[in-house]
Chains A and B, each alone.
Chain A
Amino acid sequence: MIGLAGAGVAGIAATGGALALTSGKNPEPKPVAGIGDAVPFYGARQAGIITPAQDRLHFVAFDVITGKKAELLAMLEAWTAAAARMTAGLDAGTIGAVGGIPEAPPDDTGEAIGLPASGLTLTIGFGPGLFRDAGGKDRFGIADRKPQALADLPHFPGDAIDPRISGGDICIQACAHDPQVAVHAVRNLARIGMGVVSVRWSQLGFGRTSSTSVSQDTPRNLFGFKDGTANLKAEETALLDDHLWVKPGDGPEWMAGGSYLVSRKIRMIVETWDRTSLVEQETIVGRTKGTGAPLTGKAEFDEPDFAAVDGEGEPVIALEAHVRLAHHSQNSGARMLRRGYNYVDGSDGLGRLDAGLFFISYQRDPHRQFVPVQTALARKDVMNEYIRHVSSGLFACPPGLVAADDHWGRALLS
């Protein structure tokens, strides 16, 4: 495994170099340390939130189809064991993909044989439906443990949410530097969960659109702009305590130290965007396309000056520019840790790419952070001409597991 891991790292590094050569203009990409390495599964916080954003995503939402709490707990325990193994670069089960008897199906599906851990993180969240089902029934006797923060998100103007790819009782965010590793993890968890949970929807993301650490460059979304420049970063520990992590007393005890995840699949009509002039694109975003600097500054991380006006007295950053509407200074200080991914789900049959942004944000309280920001964007953002929100999810991600004998869901369900 170790030898192969080395080969994997070399392969990825070589690809990065080739890209840099052919694109010419771009600077050499920063070398990413330990792209094949494992990220620790156990810890006070769940991995996959402030972990430097990996390149690939497979996000899956499950419906819980059993009515028996014991079955659900047993599955979550089995999931935890498999997740601890897979994030360490091991097979999902102790027998493995090829280690068992020939007459029995293997306890690992095998497509990650020879691949390193690849920074795999598996982050679990619990949705509103786990507490009360669609009929309002408290099916597992935990309705009194439902956090207020998990109240349904409101309908935002312009929403085109498809319920078939929204919501869910449990989510797993699988992130890795290798898409095969992320898909392998989700597939094996889905298999282990057969009869207890059923996949409701899932989404692949192929390129991160946020940096969650100052060690990372800001990547670009499919509009070609740097995304998440003003994101919360792992190193900003005081801000994380205020904006990201749930504090004791915020709600039920089982969520203290956790965070709330909002997912929004945002379809981008890239074809019409691509016909838009550069100046209009930059006006809509409020930043330059090249460096990502605010229109009032020179470098990416210059603070936008929302008060600045041009010679005719007009704001340099338009009143309805995306960066203004989304900025924490314009939203009572509301900040989020964004962790989204670009997606392309093939094409839509109308000669267009079915492409966009799978937005993920983590925050201490979505109703004080995501909701006001999205309300402002939904009302005023000119970018809305080019996007549609088609899926929505809200999940409570508990704190991490510290003890090796603890398992997912125990604090909530036991």
Chain B
Amino acid sequence: MRTTARLIATTGATALLIAGCGDDATKTAAAGDGRITVAASDTSCEVAKAESAAGTVTFTVANKGAKVTEFYVYAAGDRVMGEVENIAPGLSRELIVELAAGQYETACKPGMIGKGIRNGFVVTGSSAPLTEDAKLAQATADYQRYVKSQTGALIEKTTEFVDAVKKGDKEKAKALFPVSRTYWERIEPVAEIFGDLDPAIDGREDGLEPGQEFTGYHRIEKDLWQTGDISKSGPIADKLLVDVQKIVDLANSTPLSPLQLANGAKELLDEVATGKITGEEDRYSHTDLWDFNANVEGSKAAIAALRPALEEKDPALVKTLDEKFAAVTASLEKHRAGDGWKLHNELTQADLKQLSDDINALAEPISKVAGLVAGK
């Protein structure tokens, strides 16, 4: 967390948003090729059709596996066109997505990890190329939709976490702690716009001012891992859920500018460089790599939303970013443990140096994106 909101408010960009507003994955399906069923298991992802006409496409994703899964539709560079998060075993969820003609990929992510099980998906038809401003407007609309799906999952998982804490189920709460935080960490710069709530939700004990109460995820983390006593954590857990709901409502009703996306992508990597590499963030549970991965995913999502605009302005930079994101992901994958990650205190100094180098290599070119988006 940070104690001050760092996203720079911009003027003049808000108008760009209007064009993209109104996309809502939960609304009823419109035209297109009708429903496409997706049978997801722990090892397979069977998409009934591999192509569709341009327009609204509806996927019905049935999770027949034993792990929680996710379903994504990606454009080039893993730009998320739409996704459904947190599909529990046995459940079916719908994804409604607007797709212009082009090459896409679908992905199921059993266990909610990694690249997922990918399939090609072709959309045919004609669509007019977007102007530069329209591309930026599309970027914010795409990213806003990403925020919406992430905040939805954040509420669901935090509710489960809070329930486990209140029932005194320590093992379940411990397992849910890094998972619920994943959705938070992916969109943290958005949350940080709302200065007061961020410290209440994600503040660390040493960041408190005199008289301020230690609340939020890390307070419960301390109760779970250090003191081992959550019998009195109920009110803190309730407050966490209330605060998370507040921030989710704010995040979904506040328009973002393209510049905020660019700065957010950089800030997420700054979070990694300052808090996660050092193990400060999750100092009691040492689950920092979950947050690390989520920060990188969130950064990638913001850059992916900007991708069509960046392709036009600086294709070489886009190529560099693809390479550097891939390098970070590859280094991180070495520390995978099952569906999760090794603990921070299980990594060697050499492991951390490697991760630090990879983050620096990525963050430096990402710092150029804001200037490009500002377009001067």
Which residues of A are in contact with B by a Cβ distance under 8 Å?
65, 100-105, 191, 194-196, 198
Size bin of chain B's contact surface: 10 to 19
Chain A's closest residue to B10 (CB) is A103
Find chain A residues with CB under 8 A from B365 CB: 195
Chain B's closest residue to A164 (CB) is B349
- B374 interface contact, C-beta 8 A: yes
Decide: B364 and A103 in contact? CB cutoff 8 A: no
**Whole-angstrom distance between the alpha carbons of A194 and B362 in the complex?**
8
Chain A's closest residue to B361 (CB) is A195
**Whole-angstrom distance between the alpha carbons of A375 and B374 in the complex?**
61
Could you tell me which residues of chain B, from 302 to 345, have a CB within 8 Å of some CB in chain A?
Answer: 324
**Whole-angstrom distance between the alpha carbons of A194 and B371 in the complex?**
19
- B49 interface contact, C-beta 8 A: no
**Whole-angstrom distance between the alpha carbons of A198 and B364 in the complex?**
13
Kindly list the 3 A-B residue pairs having the minimum CB-CB distance in the complex, ordered from nearest: A104-B371, A195-B361, A103-B374
**Whole-angstrom distance between the alpha carbons of A198 and B324 in the complex?**
15
Decide: B361 and A100 in contact? CB cutoff 8 A: no
Decide: A194 and B361 in contact? CB cutoff 8 A: yes
Given contacts A195-B324, A198-B353, A100 and B364 within 8 Å (CB-CB)? no
Chain A's closest residue to B364 (CB) is A194
Chain A's closest residue to B365 (CB) is A195
- B123 interface contact, C-beta 8 A: no
Chain A's closest residue to B370 (CB) is A103
Decide: B371 and A101 in contact? CB cutoff 8 A: yes
Find chain A residues with CB under 8 A from B371 CB: 100-101, 103-105
Decide: B357 and A198 in contact? CB cutoff 8 A: yes
Q: In the complex, given contacts A198-B356, A198-B357, what are 19 additional A-B residue pairs having Cβ atoms less than 8 angstroms apart?
A: A101-B371, A102-B374, A103-B259, A103-B370, A103-B371, A103-B374, A103-B376, A104-B368, A104-B374, A105-B367, A105-B368, A105-B371, A194-B360, A194-B363, A195-B360, A195-B361, A195-B364, A195-B365, A198-B360
Find chain A residues with CB under 8 A from B21 CB: none
**Whole-angstrom distance between the alpha carbons of A12 and B356 in the complex?**
39
- B134 interface contact, C-beta 8 A: no
Find chain A residues with CB under 8 A from B363 CB: 194
- B373 interface contact, C-beta 8 A: yes
A129–chain B nearest beta-carbon distance, Å: 15
Chain B's closest residue to A103 (CB) is B374
**Whole-angstrom distance between the alpha carbons of A105 and B370 in the complex?**
9
Most buried by A among B353, B360, B368, B370: B360
Find chain A residues with CB under 8 A from B324 CB: 195
B156–chain A nearest beta-carbon distance, Å: 36
Find chain B residues with CB under 8 A from A65 CB: 357, 361
Find chain A residues with CB under 8 A from B367 CB: 104-105
Cβ contacts A to B, 14 pairs, < 8 Å? A65-B357, A65-B361, A100-B371, A101-B374, A103-B370, A103-B374, A104-B371, A105-B371, A195-B324, A195-B360, A195-B364, A195-B365, A198-B353, A198-B356
Given contacts A65-B357, A198-B353, A101 and B364 within 8 Å (CB-CB)? no
Find chain A residues with CB under 8 A from B353 CB: 198
Which residues of B are in contact with A by a Cβ distance under 8 Å?
259, 324, 353, 356-357, 360-365, 367-368, 370-371, 373-374, 376
B115–chain A nearest beta-carbon distance, Å: 22
Decide: A104 and B370 in contact? CB cutoff 8 A: yes
**Whole-angstrom distance between the alpha carbons of A101 and B363 in the complex?**
19
B171–chain A nearest beta-carbon distance, Å: 39
**Whole-angstrom distance between the alpha carbons of A173 and B96 in the complex?**
59
| Chain A residues touching B, majority SS | loop
Chain B's closest residue to A101 (CB) is B376
B376–chain A nearest beta-carbon distance, Å: 5
Chain B's closest residue to A190 (CB) is B360
Decide: B373 and A103 in contact? CB cutoff 8 A: yes
**Whole-angstrom distance between the alpha carbons of A194 and B358 in the complex?**
9
Find chain B residues with CB under 8 A from A103 CB: 259, 370-371, 373-374, 376
Find chain B residues with CB under 8 A from A195 CB: 324, 357, 360-362, 364-365
Find chain A residues with CB under 8 A from B373 CB: 103
Chain A's closest residue to B324 (CB) is A195
Find chain B residues with CB under 8 A from A196 CB: 361
**Whole-angstrom distance between the alpha carbons of A196 and B362 in the complex?**
11
B90–chain A nearest beta-carbon distance, Å: 45
Chain A's closest residue to B350 (CB) is A164
**Whole-angstrom distance between the alpha carbons of A198 and B354 in the complex?**
9
Find chain A residues with CB under 8 A from B374 CB: 101-104
**Whole-angstrom distance between the alpha carbons of A103 and B361 in the complex?**
20
Find chain B residues with CB under 8 A from A104 CB: 367-368, 370-371, 374
Find chain B residues with CB under 8 A from A191 CB: 364
**Whole-angstrom distance between the alpha carbons of A101 and B360 in the complex?**
22
**Whole-angstrom distance between the alpha carbons of A196 and B361 in the complex?**
7
Chain B's closest residue to A102 (CB) is B374
**Whole-angstrom distance between the alpha carbons of A191 and B365 in the complex?**
11
**Whole-angstrom distance between the alpha carbons of A105 and B362 in the complex?**
15
Find chain A residues with CB under 8 A from B370 CB: 103-104
Find chain B residues with CB under 8 A from A105 CB: 367-368, 371
Most buried by A among B361, B363, B376: B361
A380–chain B nearest beta-carbon distance, Å: 37
**Whole-angstrom distance between the alpha carbons of A240 and B25 in the complex?**
76
Find chain A residues with CB under 8 A from B362 CB: 195
**Whole-angstrom distance between the alpha carbons of A315 and B367 in the complex?**
66
Chain A's closest residue to B356 (CB) is A198
Chain B's closest residue to A198 (CB) is B357
**Whole-angstrom distance between the alpha carbons of A103 and B376 in the complex?**
9
**Whole-angstrom distance between the alpha carbons of A65 and B364 in the complex?**
15
Chain B's closest residue to A192 (CB) is B364
**Whole-angstrom distance between the alpha carbons of A396 and B312 in the complex?**
43
Chain A's closest residue to B373 (CB) is A103
Chain A's closest residue to B360 (CB) is A194
**Whole-angstrom distance between the alpha carbons of A122 and B368 in the complex?**
27
B356–chain A nearest beta-carbon distance, Å: 8
Find chain A residues with CB under 8 A from B368 CB: 104-105
Chain B's closest residue to A66 (CB) is B361
Find chain A residues with CB under 8 A from B376 CB: 101, 103
Chain A's closest residue to B262 (CB) is A103
Chain A's closest residue to B357 (CB) is A198
**Whole-angstrom distance between the alpha carbons of A103 and B12 in the complex?**
14
Chain B's closest residue to A191 (CB) is B364
A116–chain B nearest beta-carbon distance, Å: 29
**Whole-angstrom distance between the alpha carbons of A191 and B360 in the complex?**
9
Find chain A residues with CB under 8 A from B361 CB: 65, 194-196
Find chain A residues with CB under 8 A from B364 CB: 191, 194-195
B126–chain A nearest beta-carbon distance, Å: 35
